[in-house]
Amino acid sequence: MHHRCAVLDDYQGVAATSADWAALAGEVDVVTFAEHLGTEDELAAALADFDIVVTLRERVPFPASLIARLPRLRLLVASGMRNSVIDFAAAEAHGVTVCGTESSPTPPVELTWALLLGLARGLVPENAALRAGGPWQSTLGADLAGQRLGLLGLGKIGSRVARIGLAFGMDVVAWSQNLTPERAAEVGVAHAGTREELLRGSDFVSVHLALGDRTRGLLGAAELALMKPTGYLINTSRAAIVDQEALLAALHAGSIAGAAVDVFDEEPLPADHPLRTAPRLLATPHLGYVTRGNYRRYYGQAVEDIRAYLAGAPIRRLEP
């Protein structure tokens, strides 16, 4: 039986060269989609004739309503080993196997530090001024050594961010609902007793939590108001952890010195979205995991997942 495979959101046009898709030749026709399909109707129409869909991270939701409109779909491959936007019960009910791939924690750690350093030293406005013939030095950079880095979350990514902060000579503290002083000590950082304590005392706050019922909206207007007026917020985790309207208000009011975000409630971000023009904001289009190495891992293992499925022995199956 011949199969058709759709590869979604290939924005950079690199899916074809990031893996050996020739390994599927003769069995699977692969079609890539460079443009984002933003509505369920668009997805249902575009994917109606495909048996296999490869999707990156959580860019495209697959609720029960969409899965029901894709009667040919038999295999859904999502990069990463966790996905909150796939209805697994609906997939099982419609005979759809869901598989994942490995994902390196290193790229989001590196981007976190790119954003933090960019904020601290005003790299974007200084570069823009230099290129436009503007003023020579217009910002005053924030020091890192001796300043406090507060981490919300100390998992695979947060713990790596912490170690880099220590290398910069920063005072690193961490908090999450489940974090213990013993675990913080293992990483070599202090344990903040409460979220409020962390926010009040930190010069830089970086978010590294998984999104769930307990973390959705964790930082709202009241929490952002606790931060120092000289403090910076960095979020490379999930947009919904920080209340978007509250963050916009804080940036416009200048109640915090600045923020850097790589994640948004709606992606791609609409052209007229207020975050595109917000003051004191350094924003990137969800680049946390977008590196050559990670893409080779994602697409290479997607090919492996497809071959294993066609051989009747699926691998890396995902569960809710």
Any idea which residues carry the catalytic annotation?
Answer: 238, 267, 286
C-alpha 256/C-alpha 21 separation (Å) is 48
- Give me the residue label for tokens 């609906």: 90
C-alpha 147/C-alpha 162 separation (Å) is 13
Give the list of residues 6+ apart from residue 231 with CB closer than 8 angstroms, or none: 202, 203, 204, 205, 256, 257
C-alpha 305/C-alpha 313 separation (Å) is 9
258 DSSP β-pair partners = 232
Determine the 3-state secondary structure of 237 from DSSP.
coil
| Sheet of strand 190-191: strand arrangement | 190-191, 171-175, 148-152, 204-207, 232-235, 258-261, 281-283
31, HSE (Cβ side, Cα atoms, 13 Å): 14
Residue among 301, 199, 209 at smallest CA distance from 263: 209
Task: Classify the C-alpha dihedral 68-286-19-314 as positive or negative.
Answer: negative
- Give me the residue label for tokens 């984002």: 36
